[in-house]
Amino acid sequence: MESSAEFLPISDGSPPVEYDIDAELMELPYVLRININNPIIEIPYLRVKAREYIERGRLKAGIAWKSGDWDARRSIPYEKMKLLNKVEGVDFHILQKGKGLSEWTDNFGFLSGSEDIYEAAEIVKSLDVVITADTMIAHLAGALGVRVWLLLCDDPDWRWFENRSDSPWYPTMRIFRQKKAGEWDKVIAEVAQELSIMQKKASKFC
Q: What is the C-alpha to C-alpha distance for residues 139 and 53, in angstroms, rounded to an integer?
A: 23
Higher pLDDT, 162 or 53: 162
The CATH H-level superfamily of 59-203 is Glycogen Phosphorylase B; (3.40.50.2000)
Find the mean pLDDT for residues 76-96. Answer: 96
Residue 170: other Cβ atoms inside 10 A: 24
Find the mean pLDDT for residues 113-131. Answer: 94
Of the pLDDT bands very low, low, confident and very high (cuts 50, 70, 90), residue 38 is confident
Of the pLDDT bands very low, low, confident and very high (cuts 50, 70, 90), residue 52 is confident
Identify the pLDDT of residue 173. 98
Per residue in 131-146, pLDDT (tens digit) is: 999 999 999 999 999 9
Of the pLDDT bands very low, low, confident and very high (cuts 50, 70, 90), residue 53 is low
Beta-sheet strand order (sheet of 148-152): 110-111, 90-94, 59-64, 129-132, 148-152, 173-177
Do 96 and 66 contact (CB within 8 A), yes or no?
yes
Identity at 80, one-letter amino acid code: K
**What is the DSSP pairing of strand 110-111 with strand 90-94?**
parallel
Q: H/E/C letters for each residue in 66-116?
A: CCCHHHHHHCCCHHHHHHHHHCCCEEEEECCCHHHHHHCCCCCCEECCCCC
Higher pLDDT, 19 or 181: 181
Of the pLDDT bands very low, low, confident and very high (cuts 50, 70, 90), residue 21 is confident
What's the chain's length in residues? 206
For 176, left (φ over 0), alpha (ψ -120 to 50), or beta? beta
Of the pLDDT bands very low, low, confident and very high (cuts 50, 70, 90), residue 2 is low
Q: Which residues of 66-93 are buried (b: 16+ CB within 10 A; e: fewer)?
A: bbeeeeeebbbebeebbebeebeebbbb
Do 108 and 83 contact (CB within 8 A), yes or no?
no
> Which of 38-42, 168-172, 173-177 shows the highest mean pLDDT?
173-177
Find the mean pLDDT for residues 31-36. Answer: 81
Beta bridge partners of 38: 35
Non-local CB neighbours of 24 within 8 Å, separated by 6+ positions? none
